[in-house]
Structure 1
């Protein structure tokens, strides 16, 4: 028994219609996924993290009380004035120990204007004698000042 040519034509049309229906259903879905993933349109760049605007400029131990103090510098951001909350870490070496814990202190640096530099002193723990301290920024957050109109 053979297959007639009219049956093959009908099967060809059926395959073509199913393919076209699949494209009509899945093409918009694919475009939606592509656009929501950032492929469609121009995306604005996120501002750099606050840690890039903050650094420790000094780390000293008071000889009398053996308390460590870090000097923190915060530079204003282009998007406007605001305040930084900085977590300063105090360790006995620059490289953190895996699973180790370090002393930390928080400091708030308010009213940092764009382009300006503000400083703060951050007291730390009492430091053991004959140990050289390391002070560094563990984390920083920036909160923009509210604009009054």
Structure 2
């Protein structure tokens, strides 16, 4: 077999292996760059307190929400109440309406039933942000 055919076959084999690998590497790099400044509404929420309501025995989470969104909006936060083994035993929802950019609001999330297992753990399970300002549109 001529030497140039061997070189051509080796070069083609290298392309078959390197092009897909290079494509995957480029995709991973671009994907990371596109999402490096991504934020999630749950990043804006802090559990400020977790206790039992003395009257009802239901778990109560005190939540602090500091908006880092680009527009004014409302946060809906779902809190999971867990036992000492970190097993979910209940959930509650708290809402902060009309929170301006950079402002801090407070709310409570209360469980649906009394908790008899000591002191619960309060963990942010989910947070949603809904803008109350329309997205700017281009002029005529």
- Residue in 1 aligned with 2:94? 107
Quote the offset at 1:119 in angstroms: 1.0
Q: CA RMSD of the aligned region, Å?
A: 3.1
Q: TM-score normalized by structure 2?
A: 0.70
Q: Distance in 2 between matches of 1:136 and 1:21?
A: 55
- Residue in 2 aligned with 1:141? 128
List gaps (5 residues or longer) in structure 2. none
For 1:1-149, list aligned pairs within 5 A: 11-22=2-13, 28-38=19-29, 43-44=33-34, 45-93=36-84, 95-96=85-86, 100-124=87-111, 125-128=113-116, 131-145=118-132, 146-149=134-137
The 1:127–1:24 alpha-carbon spacing in structure 2 relative to 1, beyond 3 Å, is closer
Q: Distance in 2 between matches of 1:29 and 1:133?
A: 50
Please say which structure displays the higher CA radius of gyration.
Answer: 1
Q: Provide the aligned length of Structure 1 versus Structure 2.
A: 134
Q: Distance in 1 between matches of 2:32 and 2:125?
A: 33
The 1:68–1:21 alpha-carbon spacing in structure 2 relative to 1, beyond 3 Å, is closer
SS in 2 for 1:90: strand
Residues 130-149 of structure 1: CA distance to partner in whole angstroms, max 9, x if unpaired?
93343332232334444254
Quote the offset at 1:20 in angstroms: 3.8
